[in-house]
Amino acid sequence: MVNIAGDLKQNATGLAHLRHVLDRLSTEDLDRSLGGNWTVKTALGHLAFWDRRQAATLANAGDGERMRVEVVEAAAAIDELLEATDAELLEPVVAGGHAYLVERWVHREEHIEQIEFGLG
């Protein structure tokens, strides 16, 4: 049985916990290693991304035309940000095991191929 009310309550509890942890973090803590090429900052970025992704999916679930616009806007936004970012800032990101943050084409092509295959 689905327990939406229980999940919503747990979401609120988790958000309160997140806020509590964030209130205790110093600027230096953000760069602290969590292992596996992760820092506190990258873990927070990961959480932010997935929550925004789920929000966009739910908000656009019934609107396929909006999803077409959303995907192009998102791809253009990251491409523009990468173009505007000094390569010296991006090099340690790539060298640190996070090349996927710069190599957006790899992920795009994976899903474009998936879509094209599904369309026949």
19 located within any domain? no
Other beta carbons less than 10 A from residue 104's beta carbon: 14
Note the pLDDT of residue 98: 83
74 located within any domain? yes
Residue 28 gets which letter from DSSP? G
The whole-angstrom separation of Cα 107 and Cα 34 is 25
Q: What is the pLDDT of residues 58-115, one digit of tens each?
A: 888 888 888 888 899 999 999 999 999 999 999 988 988 889 989 999 999 999 999 9
Note the pLDDT of residue 57: 85
48 located within any domain? no
Position 56 confidence tier, pLDDT thresholds 50, 70, 90:
confident
- Alpha carbon of residue 35 to chain centroid: 19
Residue 27 tokens, joined: 């600027």
Element housing 34 (H / E): strand 33-35
85 located within any domain? yes
Domain tally, the chain: 1
71 located within any domain? yes
Domain that holds residue 80: 64-120
Residue 17, pLDDT above cutoff 90: yes
Note the pLDDT of residue 96: 85
